[in-house]
Homo-oligomer: A and B are copies of this chain.
Amino acid sequence: MRTLDKHGGPAAARATRRRATPKSSARRAAPPEAGRARVRLDVDERRAQLVELGLSEFGTRTYEEVSIDLIAQTAGISKGLLYHYFPTKRAYYVACVREAAARLVARLELPSDVPPLERLQVGLDRYLEYVRAHGGAFATLMRSGAFADRELADVIDETRATLLGRLTSGMADIFPAPGTLSSPLLQIALQGWVGLAEAMSIAWVEACVAAEGARSNAPPPRADEVRDLLAQTLVAIVGNAVR
Q: Which residues of A contact B (CB under 8 A)?
A: 62, 143, 145-150, 152-153, 156, 182, 184-185, 187-189, 191-200, 202-204, 207, 218-221, 225-226, 228-230, 232-233, 236-237, 240-241
Contact = CB atoms under 8 A, between A and B. Distances in A.
A49 to B, nearest CB: 28
A156 B241 CA distance: 28
B203 A229 contact: no
Contacts of A193: 196, 199
- The main secondary structure of chain A at its interface with chain B is helix
Contacts of A225: 185
30 contacts: A143-B153, A146-B148, A146-B153, A146-B156, A182-B218, A184-B207, A185-B226, A187-B203, A187-B207, A188-B221, A189-B200, A189-B229, A191-B199, A191-B200, A191-B202, A192-B197, A192-B200, A192-B203, A192-B230, A192-B233, A193-B199, A195-B196, A195-B198, A195-B199, A196-B199, A228-B240, A229-B237, A229-B240, A232-B240, A233-B236
